[in-house]
Amino acid sequence: MKLSELAARTRTSTATLKFWIREGILPPGELRNQTTAVYGEGHVERIALVRTLREEFDLPIARIRALVVRIDDPGVPLLDIMEECQLIATGLRAGDAGQDARVPRLLADVGWPDATSVARDALSAALRDAEAVGVTFGRETLARYARMLAEFAREDIASIRTDGTRDAVARALLQGAAAQTRVLVALNQLAHTSAAISDALARGQAGGAALGAGPAEADPAGPAD
């Protein structure tokens, strides 16, 4: 298809597509002659990925370029691409201050592989960020959270389809991880809200019993004159 047809199909202006080609995030078309280039399904999938990164995650062009360069490099394992997409989707960062000592200890406690990964770096950074604002996570707490998430993680990994192009896999992972993160955060918020309400109700009932308060009863003597 020609550039104008690609623009119509993807609902993206030709000016934007030309800009993305110049920026190196969209491959140029295949030249048919000196003035005409044609585009294929690979361009459609790349545009879908770029639009997702721009519109849903507000990623700058430089960060998109860094990601697609890795996607286009057959020497970069798909697992590395998937991890990077998870970081983008969750808003976590890998950090550069080295490993937090709690991470290898956690991996040993729950029996997870002690392998270098951006996810491991992201947990180290998150723990340090939390500690900086006075929020600490003990060894048993971290292990309990990890064990609860392990089953869900295995189900998620089993459901991921990797038989499509790397662009398609990356886009599906971005959207899936972002949706899952929103649900998990919302569930966590609901759990805290429900626990606070239940606690408040329990304390209110206990306080009422201690004070002898209860449902209003009619005064047997009748109303005072």
pLDDT tens-digit map of 132-142: 999 999 999 99
Counting as low any pLDDT under 70, the low residues of the chain are: 95-97, 205-225
Model pTM? 0.77
Neighbours of 29 (CB within 10 A): 18
Per-residue model confidence (pLDDT) at position 206: 55
Per-residue model confidence (pLDDT) at position 208: 44
Per-residue model confidence (pLDDT) at position 215: 46
Per-residue model confidence (pLDDT) at position 39: 96
Per-residue model confidence (pLDDT) at position 102: 92
Per-residue model confidence (pLDDT) at position 164: 86
Please give the distance of CA 42 from its chain centroid, rounded to a whole number.
25
